Structure 1
């Protein structure tokens, strides 16, 4: 008997030499083909995981019976164009769409006649039952979580609430072996699930409609998958968990990841979303990863510091007192952390966002803050029409907001993001102003360019962080011929283009490689490229704060020397003040007094082959670890 050919698409952009293994596709296939009827009747021909040219894809497809598409914001339009082509060539082929970018309801079926079925919610059970219906073993119209056409019209069945987690592993069942074998030059990123579900229902998240009890995957599967990742030299191991570190067994899982890294050198890094109410267990996990050089930063997320905003989005945060304790604990242990905020949430204003960032800095978050623009997602609570109307949400439809991907000049299929640019509490002009402030803080504080001046001024009670960075931004925008002025004037123009739906939230500067840089990283890189001129020009601004002349001169020299640059020849320098000891104390939230004493500072000079390598290592890969300055690799002692 000739088997029915099944093809699965879960495509994504490559990131340089890196690409994601198509976990969802493998997961659904592994469960479906554990059914003997499906295994006997279907052949899983190929999983496509890269955005190949559509004509090339069509040449590799032969008489498909079923083609499934896992759809996300980064492949939605590609999937639609490809599906339409396949349907025109093979009219009897069944086209299935599922994934996070499939809107609730049946709108897609009304708009796209070439799509036969929509799957809503978790896919394993629905997908398997749908394949059984193709074989005549079930009725498709009885399957929960499905939208389809019937003789009586289009129907959408309610989603099922699943308690299942004992699924076969796509890794251990061999669904990715062929991909690994055929692509030896790709540095793969692999995803595992140790649990599924989320107890939270944050309005901006497309898990929000799926608030559910957390279910655990079997440990035997998890440990086996970690061994598979190590054996197959997976570079980055990611966990799809919503709250890693919530359970006691997560420490055992971490131990296994570290053990495999020590055996084979892989995976190189581990990244996940940590438990929202960070605990000592999360700290212990972070310490283990840090010692194994696998930590990409522990997340201490707030999304907003404004209580009214948190109420609007259905979220609760840890107390600021506990956050401050955690920051001191992580800083003293040398474990990198980063804090995330979302810009544009309903109820947020310019004042509340900038006050919130000021508060986080005051609480000790000097390593890294990531400010994400709020995006409208169709499967989130925020995606509902009543929510949009209630909060006056207006979005700009712009080319995909996905930093660090390489633009493909031959790929003429544009994917789009819907970025929130105004609400009842925020005008589009205020949205732009909030972004500019956030870029100034991220580039010049957390990436170090003026961090030591800001720390000194705050510790000496001369001005707040908000005052410093607001004044800095005003200086840039009123001095457009300076290094910072040119950079921020250009970013200001880019943001105007976003509001008018003519641009996106990143830019490409080929000096730093053919990737899309978020504006804060672009600002950092362009400033370092013109570092001498920047510090010469910015001294005019810095002198406004009335710092004593001898301290000012020494501090400016210290600030400049502590920034890592592509080519460094010196291993140290001397300063007239005990800046290393002073800033170590301030960064760890201790009181500090600056003393005038000769201090010898020894650094580990870095060297990169070119600006592209520097940008990738320092601004992209190293940002969460705060490695743009020498604060984590220097030593000091008494000067001569």
Structure 2
């Protein structure tokens, strides 16, 4: 057998990420005695924004005979640049590419002259092992990639594609890379973990179910526990459980408890992220409560995606019940656990009106926060195959590392309506999620003066006219440049509205409400003033009085994190109809303490970049319940001796 140096390259989003996919490939391949004897493996996982020059230098230094590259939407542009350079500089080496971005699209990335480059078209373990075995075999004619299952490659100008192997059903055929020592000695901060593979749903925008809908296969329970224990012992701070539906299996509760026990024993992991089961609110609530009590989870996503029946049907998600999400949200609220509801804009079948009405429904039912992600058109999904019939129009984001195609129009949404939806969502982030107009919107809606849809639509239209403000200029730039593709974009809105441009938001909101004529109503004015004081602080910093005058409320005193506020009885009555305030005395005026101390806040890091602060703010929006202020009556001091006995 020929001796081979094999280098596996992953480009994760975050530095110090454990390279799970590469670990699986190596562990599976080393089961083959011939591969184990002939191949020496190294794994490289620098973060995706590492420069091309540095990445090429890293891979050249490995002096590998074989380069294996994991290709995803978020790293494909950078990976393609690295591949181009390596093929040019190492024409004697062999390359194998895998991942959803390249599978079945060999011709787009590999020119016919590159006969030393192979693309894997499915699950990678079996093709990768067969590829290495073929390269290591000493034959006079060279390797015959027709013997490798599930790959595409060029041969004499012809694109050859071999039959795919069946999915691995007994997942324990893949040895644990943790137990094999493959990750030993690595300095990892973040880890992705699988306990099963597959998804029973067929959501057309998602590769997960489209590729694995036949059945969910799982690793043996004790093996998973041992892998999780290894992660805990190594002090890895954060893990993402990459199962499509965590909580779908009864054993997921047991594994969650095991994670908490590991943290109690070793101190890690400190944070866990999950993809919650779609139709098991009872089990998901139980799991969330276990993780929250264990200090490993602060907020639970509720992945609704859309409230439009037409859209749910078109994206093959109609079998996931809306009532399930409503029940989950209510259960989390009862247990005082933060949650946020996830939507996608614009899914096929979703109109601008249905998108706005869906968000308004969530606001009216008291969702903690609403997160609307841009619709990305992903390859190898049913939606990608139907893109023409669905009228899907995309724009590729100007990103130096990713190949992200954002959907900007469908048969149901024009590009102008797509932008209107984006403007509407910026009104949602600033006025509802960030709580700048939370009380006033609720008062207008329930009094019948203006619905949530109209309130947020009017605010979005008003924002378009106020390009004299930094906040609205940021919205305009984000809409025109598809800035909401950046995961930190929402966090930047929070940073502006709750910290750096807090005073500007005060004035912007007052001007908007005044233009609508609503501030002439005393109850609306009181709700507006309650919002001015109760808008949360995303950082642990001293409270400041609003930049617009208060006409009904009065700030009596101010401590570092607290206001003492005097309210007329009418304002107090309004507040208790909008918010739970225990023990409110029946006096006029009423004195309340508004405590902005909150939990888990960090001080404002003035020397950090906006992107750094935005990432923090994004996280804090998703756990909004933790930073909301608390209203409480001021208990007067009892004067000693006032009730002396006669």
- From 452, 455, 462, the equivalent of 1:468 is 455
The answer to whether 1:441 aligns with 2:428 is yes
1:303 to 2:305 alignment? yes
Q: Which residue does 1:573 correspond to in 2? A: 564
Question: 1:251·1:281 contact (CA, 8 Å) conserved in 2?
Answer: yes
TM-score by length of 1: 0.85
1:196 touches 1:215 (CA, 8 Å); kept in 2?
yes
Q: Tell me the CA shift for residue 151 of structure 1.
A: 5.4
How far 1:326 moved relative to its partner?
A: 2.8
Partner in structure 2 of residue 67 of structure 1: 67
Alignment partner of 2:622 out of 618, 621, 624: 624
- Rounded Cα–Cα distance in structure 1 between residues aligned with 2:186 and 2:237: 15
User: Which residues of 2 match residues 545-560 of structure 1 at below 5 A?
Assistant: 545=518, 548-549=521-522, 552-553=525-526, 555-560=528-533
Q: Distance in 2 between matches of 1:622 and 1:251?
A: 26
Is 1:44 aligned to residue 41 of structure 2?
yes
8 Å CA contact 1:20–1:190 kept in 2: the answer is yes
Seen in structure 2, the aligned counterparts of structure 1 residues 252 and 575 have a Cα distance that, compared at 3 Å, is: farther
Which of the residues 243, 246, 268 maps onto 2:245? 243
Aligned to 2:640: none
d(CA) in 1 for partners of 2:82, 2:51: 10
- Counterpart contact for 1:323–1:363, Cα < 8 Å: no
Q: CA deviation at 1:287?
A: 0.5
Q: Which residue of 1 aligns with 2:363?
A: 361
Residue by residue over 1:314-335, the C-alpha shift from the partner in whole angstroms, topping out at 9 and shown as x without a partner, is 1126444443333222111011
Match of 1:538 in 2: 509
Aligned to 2:388: 389
Q: Which of 148, 153, 157 matches 1:148?
A: 153
Measured in 1, the distance between the counterparts of 2:615 and 2:590 equals 33
- Aligned partners of 2:259, 2:239: CA distance in 1, in Å? 9
**Closer/same/farther in 2, CA of residues 215 and 337 from structure 1, 3 Å limit:** same
How much does 1:619 deviate?
Answer: 1.3
Spell out, residue by residue over 1:242-286, the C-alpha distance to the aligned partner (whole angstroms, 9 max, x if none): 000001100010001111112222111110111111321111001
* 1:94 Cα offset (Å): 0.9
Q: Do 1:7 and 1:68's aligned partners in 2 also have CA atoms closer than 8 Å?
A: yes
Structure 1 residue 496 and structure 2 residue 480: aligned? yes
Is 53-62 or 294-303 further displaced after alignment? 53-62
- Contact 1:7–1:66 (8 Å) recurs in 2: yes
1:171/1:578 CA distance change after superposition, 3 Å = farther
The answer for unaligned runs of 5 or more in structure 2 is 543-559, 637-646
Establish whether residue 505 from structure 1 lines up as the match of residue 484 from structure 2: yes
8 Å Cα contact 2:152/2:162 also seen in 1 = yes
Corresponding residue to 1:161 among 152, 161, 166:
166
Map 1:249-398 → 2, pairs under 5 A: 249-316=251-318, 318-365=320-367, 367-384=368-385, 387-398=386-397
Asked if the contact 2:256/2:290 (under 8 Å) is kept, the reply is yes
Q: Distance in 2 between matches of 1:618 and 1:58?
A: 32
SS at 1:96 equivalent: strand
| Preserved CA contact (<8 Å) 1:452 1:559 | no
Secondary structure of 1:241 counterpart: strand
Q: 1 CA distance for matches of 2:208 and 2:485?
A: 26
| Aligned residue pairs, count | 591
Secondary structure of the equivalent of 2:491? Answer: helix
Partner residue, 1:399: 398
The 3-state SS of whatever aligns with 2:633 is: strand
User: Which stretch of the first structure deviates more once superposed, 198-207 or 83-92?
Assistant: 83-92
1:578 Cα deviation from its structure 2 partner: 5.4
Contact 1:242–1:273 (8 Å) recurs in 2: yes
Among candidates 146, 164, 175, match of residue 182 of structure 2: 175
Q: Does 1:523 find its partner at 2:493?
A: yes
1:600 to 564, 569, 592: 592
Change beyond 3 A, Cα 1:129–1:532: same
SS class of match (1:128): helix
Q: Output aligned runs, 1:405-416, within 5 Å.
A: 413-416=400-403
Looking at CA atoms only, which structure, 1 or 2, has the larger radius of gyration? 2
Q: Distance in 1 between matches of 2:573 and 2:592?
A: 9
Contact 2:96 2:117 in 1 (8 A): yes
Contact conserved, 2:245 with 2:277, CA < 8 A, in 1?
Answer: yes
> Is contact 1:299–1:337 with CA below 8 Å preserved after alignment?
yes
Gaps of 5+ in 1: 181-186, 401-412, 499-503, 508-515, 587-591
Q: CA deviation at 1:627?
A: 4.8
**Could you tell me how far apart the structure 2 residues matched to 1:74 and 1:320 are?**
30
Mapped contact 1:69–1:96 kept (Cα < 8 A)? yes
- Map of 1:198 onto structure 2: 199
SS in 2 for 1:273: strand
- Please give the alpha-carbon distance, in whole angstroms, between the structure 1 residues aligned to 2:573 and 2:233: 48
Deviation per residue, 1:520-560 (Å, 9 max, x gap): 33223223322223213422333533574267247514543
After superposition, the Cα gap between the structure-2 partners of 1:554 and 1:455, relative to the gap in structure 1 and judged at 3 Å, is closer
Give the conservation status (yes or no) of the 8 Å contact 1:558–1:575.
Answer: no
Indicate whether 1:563 and 2:570 are aligned: no
* Cα displacement (A) at 1:143: 3.4
Three-state SS of the structure 1 residue aligned to 2:388 is helix
Partner of 1:45: helix, strand, or coil? strand
Q: Is residue 192–residue 222 contact of structure 1 (8 Å, CA) maintained in 2?
A: no
TM-score, normalised with respect to structure 2: 0.84
CA distance in 2 between partners of 1:320 and 1:538 (Å) = 33
Equivalent-residue separation in structure 2 for 1:271 and 1:468 (angstroms): 34
* Aligned residue runs from structure 1 range 19-58, under 5 A: 19-51=16-48, 52-58=50-56
- Contact 1:619-1:628 at 8 Å conserved across structures: no
Instruction: Say which SS state the counterpart of residue 360 (structure 2) adopts.
Output: helix
d(CA) in 2 for partners of 1:55, 1:318: 46
8 Å CA contact 2:75–2:403 kept in 1: the answer is: no
Report the equivalent of 1:615.
613
